[in-house]
Structure 1
């Protein structure tokens, strides 16, 4: 037939979404599958008429073989389909790590559709599949190389990536400036390729932890880690200046690091050492009793923290009597030979900035995992890792600017500490200031000083104590010796370059000053509208001070002041405007009667006064003060003839004064600005102008 152009179809058949039979396509291993297809007979058939200008219903079956619930229709797949813009917003939120439940709630509120957890999870899977489309290795290298000035080294073995080393321009600059202490450790389960992550870390002049490289290795085999560290060394020129290595008890990494950094002394993390002791020293493995185990662990803890080598050897002798032959064989083989790496009496002799473990690096590892998550897809993991590194650098740069804008309070200019304050970083100055506080209790005789660390040799510029070796800054013994020899306690030769403030600021990224910057100033408005919260805080602070003043007197005076405050409070609750006025002449009133507080006294005048016994107000007597409630009448609606405070004499110039609290029922608190100047609280005389009263 010939149809009109407006009619696109000559035949239409509408069926229920539950029409048709379910046809399994699998092998039957999952028989319990659900489907919408239930052979529903509902059907409407429409056909165009012979002239092609109308649609005619040929047949219709209006029965369903299933339960019909109108609300269930909104839960069908087609009705749940999200608009394209909503899908893109949801993918963006999921890409930055938004919570699935919060994304689902956001979509339901903004689209009005039913959204299930599986719908959001499908969006996340689509996002992951899109990232997997490209070669992940190429994508990772491109991400790392996108950082300006970055160096990326990729090691391949048999066509497989075995190591990736990344160093930004800032990392190279930081390590060249502060190479003395290097913290080295690995963290695991951060990406879906199970590649361990190494983040070598140094400590800058202000005590901040700075990552100086990113190393990803396919495994922890000696050859792989050695190659990665060699890449690390080739970039840096100051590797021979590394003096201390802080690592955990990883024998493979420890051996490689000591070979690559031959001038450095390896210090094992005390936390990991003690944890290894607790894990290895057990009754079953060492053939000891529970009491022996506790005694051995306690002895090992003392050995780790021993202050002198003599104390360490004494504890070792006790350990030989406590432990079994099996334990002593284990200890001598694994620990006694490397005691210089974990006992404090040995590690204190190296420059370690007071660090006894890898806690700083472990803390940064937790921060990285908090952003990247565990077993993250490789490309997203690298992007999130760069985000963490960039955010950390920005925060540390902010601290540098903040140190310039808000310096520590300086010591007296007459003190030698002022000279250290001017040249040292805040972190280094705090250490020197702490040591200077012990000068008076320190004794140095003939260049020797005795303390818990033993007998120390002290010179004008060096000392054998742990405080000096850790920081290479003047300790209490050096300062005491120079004081005894009448030498200046400050000298520029006593301060290493790494602790100088100007050196620290030169290494930190500081943007250049632009002389063309124009400073715009805006006059501060005299008045601004406060929010309800701001008004509450301001009133709260005044009320606290008012409570302190009111409670600092005896009970009689306290009760009078409370009565006055309750009177004011009740007036404000009733919406009555209130102000305070000081008058130079006594009020025209009846003699004040000592009535119970809050009672009202009628007078012969047309006005009615609220009379209160507040004779102790400002130390005056009832004959000098009165409180008046001027009810609005025909002649005193606005009190235009009342003298202004600015024209009234001072309190100490008038023998007879009256304090008037004026109330007007016709003015609510919101209209209090309409009161005359004489009734505004802000215009009341200051306390400093009042006479000195007992």
Structure 2
């Protein structure tokens, strides 16, 4: 009991303590880890909840595909999909949107949603992953299950995510699909990386470069993009130029508004998923126990399917 309690507390560390651990690990090992890495490793220690079998028995008594991933008797993830979701994906597999939401269950397991857009332009949930930690290994297993359960995956032309780990996993599992990055997280990441202290640049240089990158993001064609890119290089702010040229310029067709040439139905962001996430949080109580979480999740799903 004490061991499990300590594991649980390690997952709930405040950010200040995580930062202290992060600094200690960097100094003692030289490894550059993120706060998310610390959370993931702590989460991975969560034992299987005692009522898991009871909850799964209840779920599996109906027309659902439920699969549980475990390792050394430790819960890794739960795969959830019903027959309506399968039929929706089979009819409209061209565009797949992926996002994650947090704090919906008392195990603090992130909840991944996969969404499609139907013939009426409506958003439909086609699969749910509940994961202990956001490791690529776990996500790969879940996406493989999704492919095994849904033969229409080969017809998916575009996958939209806002996370590079997700992009890497889906890129490997959907080799013929094109990929789009949600624009807002891209700009947020750029703003975070173009840092006065980190790049040793002046504040006015930072602001000027960010203004140009904003224009790059909303370029309507390749010619306009190249003009804005030339303007960025003309600033002479070499740390920013190098960062942008290496990180974002080669994949501009995945995030620049006017350069996306894949099937996206005019979806430039994951706003559809954010809207669904808000509906989930309106119904599912924060940090619900596992049984309550699935009861409320299924209620939301039924309401969305019958709207």
TM-score w.r.t. length of structure 2? 0.81
Tell me the distance in 2 between the aligned counterparts of 1:360 and 1:345: 20
| 1:226 and 2:140 aligned | yes
State how 1:391-406 maps to structure 2 within 5 Å. 391-395=303-307
| 1:292 and 2:209 aligned | no
Query: How much has 1:380 moved relative to structure 2?
Result: 1.1
Q: Structure 1, unaligned stretches of length 5 or more?
A: 1-133, 396-694
Tell me the distance in 1 between the aligned counterparts of 2:274 and 2:54: 28
Higher relative contact order (CA closer than 8 Å, sequence separation 6+): 2
Aligned counterpart in structure 1 of residue 129 of structure 2, from 193, 212, 215? 215
Whichever of the two has the greater Rg, that structure is 1
| 1:145 and 2:47 aligned | no
**Equivalent residue for 2:11?**
none
Query: How much has 1:291 moved relative to structure 2?
Result: 2.1
Tell me the distance in 2 between the aligned counterparts of 1:166 and 1:369: 18
Tell me the distance in 2 between the aligned counterparts of 1:215 and 1:202: 15
Tell me the distance in 1 between the aligned counterparts of 2:277 and 2:79: 17
Query: How much has 1:274 moved relative to structure 2?
Result: 1.6
Change (3 A) 1:167 1:343: same
The superposition leaves residues 268-300 of structure 1 with CA deviations (integer Å, 9 ceiling, x where unpaired) of: 111111222222223222222222222211111
> Which deviates more, 149-158 or 201-210?
149-158
State how 1:85-124 maps to structure 2 within 5 Å. none
State how 1:163-562 maps to structure 2 within 5 Å. 163-248=77-162, 250-322=163-235, 324-347=237-260, 349-395=261-307
Tell me the distance in 1 between the aligned counterparts of 2:219 and 2:106: 43
Tell me the distance in 1 between the aligned counterparts of 2:250 and 2:202: 26
Query: How much has 1:205 moved relative to structure 2?
Result: 0.4
Q: Structure 2, unaligned stretches of length 5 or more?
A: 1-48
Query: How much has 1:323 moved relative to structure 2?
Result: 5.1
Q: Is the 8 A contact 2:92 2:116 kept in 1?
A: yes
Q: Is the 8 A contact 1:181 1:244 kept in 2?
A: yes
Query: How much has 1:321 moved relative to structure 2?
Result: 2.1
The superposition leaves residues 103-141 of structure 1 with CA deviations (integer Å, 9 ceiling, x where unpaired) of: xxxxxxxxxxxxxxxxxxxxxxxxxxxxxxx93211331
**Equivalent residue for 2:51?**
136
Tell me the distance in 2 between the aligned counterparts of 1:344 and 1:330: 20
Tell me the distance in 2 between the aligned counterparts of 1:208 and 1:311: 32
Q: Secondary structure at the match of 2:151?
A: coil
State how 1:25-36 maps to structure 2 within 5 Å. none
The superposition leaves residues 446-482 of structure 1 with CA deviations (integer Å, 9 ceiling, x where unpaired) of: xxxxxxxxxxxxxxxxxxxxxxxxxxxxxxxxxxxxx
**Equivalent residue for 1:495?**
none
Tell me the distance in 1 between the aligned counterparts of 2:71 and 2:109: 15
Tell me the distance in 1 between the aligned counterparts of 2:98 and 2:203: 35
The superposition leaves residues 401-428 of structure 1 with CA deviations (integer Å, 9 ceiling, x where unpaired) of: xxxxxxxxxxxxxxxxxxxxxxxxxxxx
Query: How much has 1:243 moved relative to structure 2?
Result: 0.7
Tell me the distance in 2 between the aligned counterparts of 1:192 and 1:325: 47
Tell me the distance in 2 between the aligned counterparts of 1:176 and 1:204: 11
Q: Is the 8 A contact 1:185 1:199 kept in 2?
A: yes
Tell me the distance in 2 between the aligned counterparts of 1:176 and 1:289: 53
Query: How much has 1:362 moved relative to structure 2?
Result: 1.0
Higher helix share: 2
Q: Is the 8 A contact 2:181 2:255 kept in 1?
A: yes
Query: How much has 1:381 moved relative to structure 2?
Result: 1.1
Q: Is the 8 A contact 1:155 1:162 kept in 2?
A: yes
Q: Secondary structure at the match of 2:69?
A: strand
Query: How much has 1:351 moved relative to structure 2?
Result: 1.2
Q: Is the 8 A contact 2:209 2:240 kept in 1?
A: no
The superposition leaves residues 619-653 of structure 1 with CA deviations (integer Å, 9 ceiling, x where unpaired) of: xxxxxxxxxxxxxxxxxxxxxxxxxxxxxxxxxxx
Tell me the distance in 2 between the aligned counterparts of 1:257 and 1:383: 29
Q: How many residue pairs are counted as aligned between the two chains?
A: 259
**Equivalent residue for 1:159?**
73
Q: Is the 8 A contact 1:143 1:383 kept in 2?
A: no
Tell me the distance in 1 between the aligned counterparts of 2:112 and 2:54: 20
Tell me the distance in 1 between the aligned counterparts of 2:236 and 2:279: 41
**Equivalent residue for 2:15?**
none
Q: Is the 8 A contact 1:296 1:323 kept in 2?
A: no
Q: Is the 8 A contact 1:144 1:166 kept in 2?
A: no
Q: Secondary structure at the match of 1:382?
A: helix
**Equivalent residue for 1:48?**
none
Query: How much has 1:204 moved relative to structure 2?
Result: 0.4
